[in-house]
């Protein structure tokens, strides 16, 4: 598997050892560390997520770019450097060659993390939520690079759906068009990241890691090029109040339109409004969702390793 690794990608010692031995691994993104959480909470959560996997006997592989080097399996020092780096860039796939050429550092998005993890041989990836189609995309063509990249990368992504500030129905339509397989984990309702149920339906539900592995194995047998998205809803006890959530989103969208906020600025604006209006509860839901996904991804990685 490691023969697939591009020569420009570094692999951490623990990850390289696990790949060589066939032990279970889970890839983790680092954009949440550099851009998703405030300091010093970002480092605390990053360490917690890695420790959660180690407690399951799974090797964590946090992915990022340090000093221009894309790295799968950041060391403790590299993790701390990214978490404290004021100038860290948010790195998607298109940004990788630029960040490398500039010898800069940055946190990798879902798209870049999936690409790098796959090319060293990692099969399971946990994140908070994948990117999707933005509201108003019919006019702006604003769509996350996560979607086309997931159509090209045979990796299993455990997520809490997509953030509900996005166009969830359009996102599901695009995933279908792109040939990305989506299953719900013990649910037929597609989650909306902060809320357990976005109101959209998933056609297929699986009940445990072994069923996920069966789908993974079938996709491999068919040589399918795309990802398997496992939509893992946030437990209802940890979600934002759906009524409050919906009201805040409507108000924030109207405010953004009135202020002429659009393009790349719209997502951070809406997330900040959601954070302020919920008194920080959206941040707690964010962390709970990631923690929940990492736990499930660890169990899937164990099952996949046992499957062979």
For range 285-291, the mean pLDDT = 96
User: How many other C-beta atoms lie within 10 A of the C-beta of residue 258?
Assistant: 8
Q: How far is CA 233 from CA 125, 169, 263, 296, in A?
A: 16, 16, 28, 11
pLDDT of 134 above 90: no
Contacts within 8 Å (CB) and 24+ apart, 17-21 = 17/59, 18/59, 19/120, 19/121, 19/122
Q: Is 90 a catalytic residue?
A: no
The span from the CA of 193 to the CA of 182, in Å, is 15
CB-CB contact of 93 with 149 (8 Å)? yes
CB-CB contact of 145 with 131 (8 Å)? yes
Helix intervals (H) in 121-262 = 137-140, 146-150, 168-177, 209-221, 242-258
Q: Which residues lie closer than 8 Å to 5 by C-beta, 6 or more apart?
A: 11, 119, 120, 121
The span from the CA of 96 to the CA of 106, in Å, is 9
Confidence band, pLDDT 50/70/90 cuts, at residue 1 = very low
pTM, two decimal places: 0.94
pLDDT of 2 above 60: no
Give tens-digit pLDDT for 225-271. 999 999 999 999 999 999 999 999 889 888 988 998 876 677 778 88
Place of tokens 């978490």: 83
pLDDT value, residue 8: 86
Q: What are phi and psi of 242, to 5 degrees?
A: -55, -40
The span from the CA of 73 to the CA of 63, in Å, is 6
Catalytic residue among 29, 50, 78, 143: 29
Give tens-digit pLDDT for 184-229. 999 999 999 999 999 999 999 999 999 999 999 999 999 999 999 9
Class of domain 2-307: alpha beta
Percentage helix, strand, coil for the chain under 3-state DSSP, each rounded to 5: 50, 20, 30
Catalytic residue among 48, 78, 163, 173: 163
CB-CB contact of 103 with 67 (8 Å)? yes
For the chain, where are the E strands, in sequence order? 10-11, 25-28, 59-66, 69-72, 89-91, 106-108, 124-126, 156-159, 181-185, 189-192, 195-201, 205-206, 228-231
Helix intervals (H) in 31-143 = 31, 41-55, 76-84, 96-101, 110-118, 137-140
Q: Is 200 a catalytic residue?
A: no
Give tens-digit pLDDT for 156-165. 999 999 988 8
Q: Which has more pLDDT, 308 or 122?
A: 122
Place of tokens 């040589």: 223
Domain definitions of the chain by residue range: 2-307
pLDDT value, residue 163: 83
């Amino acid at each position: 598997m490691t023969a697939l690794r591009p020569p420009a990608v570094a692999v951490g010692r623990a990850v390289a050892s696990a790949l060589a031995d066939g032990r279970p691994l889970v890839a983790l993104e680092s954009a949440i560390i550099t851009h998703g959480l405030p300091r010093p909470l970002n480092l605390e959560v990053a360490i917690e997520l890695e420790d959660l996997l180690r407690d399951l006997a799974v090797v964590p592989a946090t992915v990022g770019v340090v000093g221009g080097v894309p790295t799968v399996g950041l060391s403790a020092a590299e993790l701390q450097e990214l978490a404290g780096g004021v100038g860290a860039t948010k790195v998607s796939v298109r940004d990788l060659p630029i960040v490398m050429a500039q010898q800069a550092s940055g946190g990798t998005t879902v798209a870049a993390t999936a690409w790098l993890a796959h090319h060293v041989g990692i099969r399971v990836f946990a994140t908070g939520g994948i990117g999707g189609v933005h509201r108003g995309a019919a006019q702006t063509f604003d769509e996350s690079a996560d979607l086309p990249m997931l159509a090209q990368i045979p990796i299993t992504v455990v997520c809490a759906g997509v953030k509900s500030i996005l166009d969830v129905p359009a996102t599901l339509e695009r995933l279908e068009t792109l040939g990305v397989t989506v299953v719900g984990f013990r649910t037929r309702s597609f989650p909306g990241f902060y809320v357990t149920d976005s109101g959209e339906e998933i056609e297929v539900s699986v009940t445990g890691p072994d069923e996920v592995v069966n789908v993974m194995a079938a996709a491999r047998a068919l040589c399918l090029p795309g990802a398997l998205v496992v939509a893992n809803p946030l437990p209802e006890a940890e979600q934002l109040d759906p009524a409050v959530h919906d009201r805040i989103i409507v108000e924030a969208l109207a405010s953004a339109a009135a202020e002429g906020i659009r393009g790349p600025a719209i997502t951070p604006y809406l997330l900040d409004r959601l954070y302020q209006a919920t008194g920080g509860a959206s941040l707690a839901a964010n962390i709970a969702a990631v923690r929940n996904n990492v736990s499930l991804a660890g169990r899937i990685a164990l099952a996949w390793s046992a499957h062979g």
